[in-house]
Amino acid sequence: MKQSPELATRMTEKLDYEEMLGCMRCGFCLPTCPTYIRSKDESASPRGRIAIMKGVVDGLIEPDEGVEKTLNECLGCLACEPACPAGVRYSVLLEDARAAITDHKRATGQMPVRERIVRKVVFDGLFLNKAKMETATGFLRFYQQSGVQTLTHKLRILDWFPDQLQKMETILPTVPAKTERRRRPERIRATGSPTARVAFFSGCLMDTMFYETNANTIKLLQAAGCDIVIPNMQQCCGALHGHAGEQTGAVTLAKQNIAAFEAEDVDYIITNAGGCGAFLIGYDHLLKHDPEWAERAERFTAKIKDFASILLEVGFLDRVPLTLPEQVITYQDSCHLRNVQKGALAPRVLLQAIKGSVYIEQQHADHCCGSAGVYNLLQPVIANDILEMKMGHVNATAAQTIVTSNPGCHMQMQLGIQEHGTDSMRAVHLADLLVEAMDNHAN
């Protein structure tokens, strides 16, 4: 499909030229980029992708399908950003370029029907509206609980779907009942003397499919002495929209979230999913040109903290002893927690504080696992190659427990265990493992 020349104009308008010029092309990003490590192809590197965007703006190349392909193949893990000597904000360039492409396709009617429907359902329907999200995961619960799942497997209905979806279907967590979720109070008091007042960002996937992990995160915060509020009016963070070039949807959600949280007088806004945290922390950039919202967004982002860092800060380890049965634990970084929220240290400190278990750092723990939002569904070949490399490093640690801090990574690691691991391995969210260690010690 040949794209009309107006796309170049759109990209020129959208992309920050100063930011692209900031790339010195030194190549320090190359050894951090999973797609470059995999292919050693410069057009699959951050430096290459910036040059390609700039090449379009400079008129050196047309924005053809090759350009779109290489931008789509980027995981968006942002391992390149901390490695960049010049501090280029690659994430901003990538999202702006993707937004230009999406806008252009929509405006010129070039978006294939199937993609248009998927985007409509996912971005305008599901994730833009928490009630619909709950209904949809309600269907998933029905599917899992009613026997339809067993029937589906028996009838091999999934054989009609692409390979990757089939694999993912088997590792979906069990969805809790809606009533259980409704019973959660909006305000929860600290155990013992209070150390901080926090608001909890519950997320959409985290609050439905990973409801248990949210409940455990709250339990940990409570034990650490936090008074917790979970504002009812909060929405999905908008990360999936932003990463897929749906900026309008992301902006709507950002404003709703800022409004929901600024009503509360809290020290921190806590996240337990790296992907959400990183997107929330970027609201100031998303809304910087909106005079009504720019300042409010800055106040909001200044309060965003991941739960592990806060646990350490308020002295969780002094209050709560942690013990586990003998096992080897390793940690898989959430790219966005590490590269954007700068939260790589706290999870490791917490895990190493657990008595009874042994923590072994896997080689390249900071490399993306290939999940990257919905990347593993859109780019299954690359995602599977990356997962296979990842599992090689995981297996080398002989770990039984792989700890994650983001729902996407969690499911991807489960897939990794299923495809390349052993029966004695499990993937656990950091919050779930900490509660396990807390309860285990108490018993």
Partner 1 sequence: MDWMNQLREEIGADVVFTDPTTRLAYSFDATPNYQAMPDAIVAPRSTEHVQAVLRLCHEHRVPIVPRGSATNLAGGTTPLSGGVVMDFRHMDRISEIDEKNLTVTVEPGCITAHLAEAVEAKGLFYPPDPSSMKISTIGGNISENSGGLRGLKYGVTADYVLALEAVLPNGDVLHTGGKLAKDVAGYDLTRLLVGSEGTLAVITQATLKLIPLPETKQTMLAYFEDLDSAARTVSRIIENRIIPATLEFMDKKTIEVVEAYANIGLPTDVGALLLLEQDGPRDVVRHDIEAMHAVCLEEGALSVEVARDEAHAETLRYARRIALSALARLNPTTILEDATVPRSEIAEMVRRIEAIGRAYDIQIATFGHAGDGNLHPTVSTDARNHEEMERVEAAFADIFAAALDLGGTITGEHGVGAMKAPYLEWKLGPAGIDVMKGIKLAFDPHGIMNPQKMFAKAAKKRIVQGGTS
Tracing tokens 């009838």 back to the chain, one arrives at: 155
Residue 79 burial (10 A CB sphere; 0-12, 13-18, 19+) = buried
Q: Which position among 11, 52, 329, 431 is part of the footprint of partner 1 (CB under 8 A)? A: 52
How far apart are the two ends of the chain, measured CA to CA in Å? 63
Cα dihedral 180, 181, 182, 187 sign: positive
Per-residue interface string for the shown chain with partner 1, residues 82-111, x marking contact by CB under 8 A: ---xxx------------------------
What's the Rg (C-alpha) of the chain?
22
Q: Which residue has the tokens 């990794």?
A: 416
Contact call for residue 385 and partner 1 (CB under 8 A): no
Q: How far apart are CA 340 and CA 275, in angstroms?
A: 9
Q: Which is nearer to partner 1, 46 or 370 (CB)?
A: 46
Q: Does 209 bind partner 1 (CB under 8 A)?
A: no
Residue with tokens 């900071």: 366
Backbone angles phi, psi at 178, to 5 degrees: -60, -35
Among 60, 121, 302, 396, binds partner 1 (CB under 8 A): 60
From the CB of 46, what's the least distance to partner 1, in Å?
11
Q: Rule CB under 8 A: is residue 157 a binding residue for partner 1? A: no
Cβ neighbours of residue 139 closer than 8 Å, sequence gap 6 or more: none
> Taking CB under 8 A as the rule, does residue 172 contact partner 1?
no
Least separation in angstroms between residue 435's CB and partner 1 is 32
Stretch that binds partner 1, among 56-64, 294-302, 354-362, 388-396 (CB under 8 A): 56-64
Q: Using CB under 8 A, which of 3, 35, 45, 339 touches partner 1?
A: 45
CA 291/CA 80 separation, integer angstroms: 31
69 binds partner 1 (CB under 8 A): yes
291 in contact with partner 1 (CB under 8 A): no
Task: Determine the Cα angle at 168 with ends 278 and 38, to 5°.
Answer: 65
- Hey, what are 442's tokens? 């108490």
Nearer to partner 1, 55 or 176 (CB): 55
- Scanning 37-45, 263-271, 290-298, 375-383 for contacts with partner 1 by CB under 8 A, the matching segment is 37-45
Query: Using CB under 8 A, which of 4, 9, 22, 348 touches partner 1?
Result: 22
Cβ-Cβ contacts under 8 Å for 322 (sequence gap 6 or more): 350, 353, 354, 355, 434, 437, 438, 441
Q: Site for partner 1 (CB under 8 A): which residue of 11, 57, 67, 190?
A: 67
Do residues 187 and 199 touch, judged by C-beta distance below 8 A?
no
Strand-strand pairing, 226-229 and 187-188: antiparallel
Is residue 398 involved in binding partner 1 (CB under 8 A)? no
**Interface region with partner 1, contact rule CB under 8 A, candidates 14-22, 207-215, 264-272, 405-413:** 14-22
Shortest spacing between CB 67 and partner 1, in angstroms: 5
Q: Measure Cα distances from 419 to 13, 323, 342, 385, 400 in Å.
A: 44, 30, 30, 12, 15
Identified binder of partner 1 from the candidate list 46, 48, 203, 225, rule CB under 8 A: 48
Q: Based on CB atoms, which residue is closest to partner 1, 48 or 76?
A: 48
Q: How far is the CB of 37 from partner 1 (least distance, A)?
A: 10
Footprint on this chain of partner 1 (rule: CB under 8 A): 18, 21-22, 24-28, 30-31, 39-43, 45, 48, 51-52, 55, 60-62, 64, 66-67, 69-70, 85-87
